[in-house]
Amino acid sequence: MTDPTDAHTLAPHQQHQFETIEQQQETSTLGMWAFLVTEVMFFGGLFGAYTVYRYLYPHAFSAASHHLNYKIGAVNTAVLIGSSMTMALAVRAAQLGHRRNQVIFLLLTIVLGSTFLGIKVVEYHDKFVHHLVPGPHFEFEGPYGREAQIFFSLYFAMTGMHAVHMIIGIAMLSILTVLAWKGRFSADYYTPVELGGLYWHFVDIVWIYLFPLLYLIRGG
């Protein structure tokens, strides 16, 4: 206040408009959350469509859901939760300034994320083989042919958009891994890793809802 130039001492990596590096970090986190809220809204539209059609055609959704392999879905859920765990550990390593652990956990997260996508490819392939992809070649035994096609349209739209987010996430993680390898992050500055983690965990949360809503429709 007494300093006429208002030149507060800047920490390394601190932008001049921020009073402290803590304030800078909090601002970045809040900005990332504002983005994630728009992502909640984006997926919310898909979940809204799902809600309406499941309400209208509960029996068809149950019948169609039985064509998804819930065991594969459960394994994939575990893989993705595991990737969230390694991501959290990568952020923790960054907070502690452990460069080697940070790179290892980021790579593990990429491996687990890729495993999830690989399993997804097998599942998608299975749907093509069994004519469960909406379109002219769609075939569904029983009275719910048309409604089942709506279920599979939602299945591909929702898991597809989720997979796109995973692919973006893996690209982002690859960049973070290179930067971490080069030693760009330290205990004083690891904001990109923290924000990358927020994105990755958000994608995990979307799947946490998709799994029971698509794979586990029983009763009904």
Q: Tell whether residue 164 is a contact of other proteins (CB under 8 A).
A: no
**Identity at 36, one-letter amino acid code:** L
Which of these ranges, 71-79, 110-118, 159-167, 169-177, lies near other proteins under the rule CB under 8 A?
A: 71-79
How far is the C-alpha of 81 from the C-alpha of 64, rounded, in Å? Answer: 26
In the three-class reduction of DSSP (H, G, I as helix; E, B as strand; rest coil), residue 61 is classed as: helix
**Identity at 106, one-letter amino acid code:** L
Tally of CB atoms within 10 A around 146? 11
Q: Tell whether residue 70 is a contact of other proteins (CB under 8 A).
A: yes
Write out the binding residues for other proteins, residues 27-56 only, by CB under 8 A: 29-30, 33-34, 36-37, 40-41, 44-45, 47-48, 51-52, 55-56
- Please state, in angstroms and as integers, the Cα–Cα distance from residue 21 to each residue in 12, 33, 113, 178, 182, following that order: 9, 18, 32, 24, 22
For residue 93, count CB atoms less than 10 angstroms from its CB and return exposed for 0-12, middle for 13-18, buried for 19 or more. Answer: buried
- Please state, in angstroms and as integers, the Cα–Cα distance from residue 121 to each residue in 108, 127, 150, 193, 217, following that order: 20, 10, 21, 28, 22
Considering beta carbons, is residue 138 or 153 the nearer one to other proteins?
153
Considering beta carbons, is residue 81 or 171 the nearer one to other proteins?
81
Q: Tell whether residue 198 is a contact of other proteins (CB under 8 A).
A: yes
- Please state, in angstroms and as integers, the Cα–Cα distance from residue 94 to each residue in 30, 90, 159, 194, following that order: 19, 6, 31, 8
Q: Tell whether residue 171 is a contact of other proteins (CB under 8 A).
A: no
Q: Tell whether residue 178 is a contact of other proteins (CB under 8 A).
A: no
Number of residues that bind other proteins (CB under 8 A): 55
Q: Tell whether residue 179 is a contact of other proteins (CB under 8 A).
A: no
Residues that bind other proteins (CB under 8 A): 21-22, 25-26, 29-30, 33-34, 36-37, 40-41, 44-45, 47-48, 51-52, 55-56, 70, 74, 77-78, 81-82, 84-85, 87-89, 92, 95-97, 187-188, 190, 194, 197-198, 201-202, 204-205, 208-209, 211-213, 216-220
